[in-house]
């Protein structure tokens, strides 16, 4: 951090390096939030594709409500990476998942970005420690991992590398919150972070099932959209199982269904259900329940599932 580091709320100019599905999604998000955005991508003619992506996203963003001063005219296409970041107060990198490429690119971005300005990578799996190796000032580089589409899905996972200074992680988390995202700040690097590990576990099991002829992609999708997917917008996997325990909650669930962790229900071997793990889950769910009884959680869940089903029905039936 130096005198050049703006307060997270004062940022006006954002640079987006890489303008594919994720980078373009970030561009749309920042434009909708009223930022000035400079974009650069090495692909020739990327501008047309980027503007198409932003145009496709714009109706949804208008529907959600644009920030004051939000305009697609605030997008500037930069001729070079160095031009894109020269006056940036925050940089989001969204290049393809290729470690050597990311190392080179982040080193170039770092060299060209004003000192004290935080640089964030959209990487979905690399740790910043392995990406920041060639950076001249690695202390300001963080991972800011979004979900597709970044202009709608709130989650951003923020985590630094070994050479990242804590202020940069904290600054990025605050900036993303100001910019309308929902932030999880991790205090250690884990491959795939949190959500991607969970999502990837589903994905790998799904691939195994297709590979073995046990289910088709359509059956796999229906098993989620007609099943647990209807609960997950309100209740994550932990609170979902907190309710599966009936009036006894997570404690009852683990004490009664714990043995099923030994069942061959996935190709993923489960951890040993030690007393410590049991207690961490029970206590974590109590904290997440935040004083709400199981009955109150059940009532909320029921209202949420109905609301979600209606919302999805509306979309399927083409209602606006």
Token pair of 51, please? 């503007």
293: contact with its own copies by CB under 8 A: no
**Residue whose tokens read 């609960």:** 231
6: contact with its own copies by CB under 8 A: no
Binding segment for its own copies among 5-13, 79-87, 131-139, 153-161 (CB under 8 A)? 153-161
Binding segment for its own copies among 4-12, 31-39, 169-177, 233-241 (CB under 8 A)? 233-241
Q: Which is nearer to its own copies, 68 or 218 (CB)?
A: 218
Within 114-133, the residues that bind its own copies by CB under 8 A are: 124-125
Site string for its own copies, 237-256 (x = CB under 8 A): xxx-x-xx-x---------x
Pairwise CA distance, residues 196 & 294, whole Å: 29
From the CB of 60, what's the least distance to its own copies, in Å? 4
Please check whether residue 189 is in contact with residue 137, taking contact to mean a CB–CB distance below 8 angstroms. no
101: contact with its own copies by CB under 8 A: no
Q: How many residues at the interface with its own copies, by CB under 8 A?
A: 120
Binding segment for its own copies among 6-14, 109-117, 131-139, 183-191 (CB under 8 A)? 183-191
Q: In terms of Cα–Cα distance, which of 2, 6, 7, 8 is closest to 181?
A: 8
Token pair of 170, please? 């904290």
* Of 9, 10, 43, 277, the one binding its own copies by CB under 8 A: 277
Q: In terms of Cα–Cα distance, which of 105, 96, 103 is closest to 127?
A: 103
Q: What are the C-alpha distances in Å from 268 to residues 125, 197, 216, 223?
A: 19, 12, 20, 19
**Residues in contact with 75: Cβ distance below 8 Å, sequence separation at least 6, in sequence order:** 27, 31, 37, 38, 39, 50, 51, 54
51: contact with its own copies by CB under 8 A: no
From the CB of 9, what's the least distance to its own copies, in Å? 21
* Of 274, 275, 291, 317, the one binding its own copies by CB under 8 A: 274
Site string for its own copies, 201-220 (x = CB under 8 A): xxxxxxxxxxx--xxxxxxx
Q: What are the C-alpha distances in Å from 158 to residues 18, 116, 172, 189?
A: 19, 18, 7, 10
Pairwise CA distance, residues 117 & 235, whole Å: 36
From the CB of 125, what's the least distance to its own copies, in Å? 5
Token pair of 299, please? 């009532």
* Of 148, 162, 292, 293, the one binding its own copies by CB under 8 A: 148
Q: Which is nearer to its own copies, 10 or 56 (CB)?
A: 56
**Residues in contact with 216: Cβ distance below 8 Å, sequence separation at least 6, in sequence order:** 210
Q: Which is nearer to its own copies, 30 or 89 (CB)?
A: 30
99: contact with its own copies by CB under 8 A: no
SS3 of 185, please? strand
Within 60-89, the residues that bind its own copies by CB under 8 A are: 60, 63-64
């Amino acid at each position: 951090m130096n005198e050049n580091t703006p307060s997270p709320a004062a940022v006006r100019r954002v640079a987006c390096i890489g303008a594919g599905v994720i980078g373009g999604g970030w561009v749309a998000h920042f434009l909708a939030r009223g930022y000035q955005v400079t974009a650069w991508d090495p692909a020739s003619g990327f501008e047309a594709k980027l503007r198409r992506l932003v145009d496709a996203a714009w109706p949804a963003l208008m529907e959600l409500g644009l920030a004051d001063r939000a305009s697609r005219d605030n997008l500037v296409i930069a001729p070079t990476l160095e031009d894109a970041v020269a006056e940036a107060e925050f940089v989001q990198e969204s290049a393809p998942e290729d470690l050597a490429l990311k190392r080179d690119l982040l080193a170039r971005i770092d060299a060209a970005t004003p000192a004290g300005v935080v640089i964030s990578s959209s990487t979905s799996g690399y740790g910043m420690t392995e990406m920041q190796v060639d950076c001249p000032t690695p202390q300001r580089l963080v991972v800011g991992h979004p979900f597709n589409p970044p202009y709608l899905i709130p989650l951003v996972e923020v985590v630094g590398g070994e050479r990242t200074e804590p202020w940069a992680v904290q600054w990025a988390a605050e900036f993303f919150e100001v910019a309308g995202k929902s932030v999880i700040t991790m205090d250690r690097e884990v491959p795939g972070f949190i959500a991607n590990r969970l999502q990837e576990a589903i994905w790998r099991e799904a691939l195994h099932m297709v590979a073995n002829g046990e289910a088709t992609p359509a059956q796999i999708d229906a098993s989620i959209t007609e099943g647990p997917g209807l609960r997950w917008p309100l209740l994550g996997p932990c609170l979902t199982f907190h309710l599966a325990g009936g009036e006894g909650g997570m404690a009852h669930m683990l004490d009664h269904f714990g043995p099923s962790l030994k069942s061959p229900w996935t190709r993923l071997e489960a951890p040993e259900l030690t007393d410590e793990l049991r207690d961490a889950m029970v206590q974590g769910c109590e904290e997440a329940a935040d004083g709400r009884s199981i009955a109150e959680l059940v009532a909320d869940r029921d209202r949420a599932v109905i609301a979600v089903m209606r919302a999805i029905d509306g979309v399927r039936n083409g209602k606006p």
